[in-house]
Structure 1
């Protein structure tokens, strides 16, 4: 018999205990990994649900914002409507009184538009033509620099630096 080969009855008594310990260690590691996997899966599902909730709330807020976007603007126009109805209710009013009321109503409307960032585009004569804010109706000979505004036929309007309607203008023709 060689020294490497021990008879079965003389095997190391610690070998089965070491194998059991290794098996217990592997089982503990697997259990720990399964617990971590369960925790991470739960955290993932919670995060996914939170993202869906945030998305749903954002969609609801956007829908409300679209639905009620003009609420402030409409509210600022109500006094203008009241003034117009008051004028209509006075059919026997003098022309001067009606004209005075029209001017007051126009001031109310201008103030309401300005409060809502709707600004006039009304270039002065001689202002350089800007195709982003002006629409040239015609070119006319004039005693001023070429490509400058000669007259404004209709005011334009912008809201928050975005043109709603360009000003209709005539432009000086090149000499």
Structure 2
């Protein structure tokens, strides 16, 4: 559970550098962490905020699964995105980092409505993984806008924190 710095905002910085008349060519080389930058970024595509959405999706999936994009598990054509997508929706609990679930497991143990709480937790985790996966569309323009990602994340939060769930921990 260690926080990592992300590449968000990189597209804006580089777009400004491209428009800056005295920028040096070496400042336009791809910058960011391997596994976190969008694939088109390395092919010379113009920087855009859609690349930041890609990076955000990686970070979200990393937080939910506890796996980094450079994990030894990911070889050949299997990456974090495919790993998460293959688990949707039935097997999502198998890929979730157990450290995220410790409190929720206690809630389920002590709550009479444990099936409801368990179902809500599963639905929220499926939604989080879907949001992360949706940030990976191959075409940058097919990716969500970050404002739409935020709206979806807020819906997940509101659903999970709904007052209809009684928590007796």
TM-score computed with the length of structure 1 as normaliser: 0.23
Structure number with greater Rg is 1
More helix by share: 2
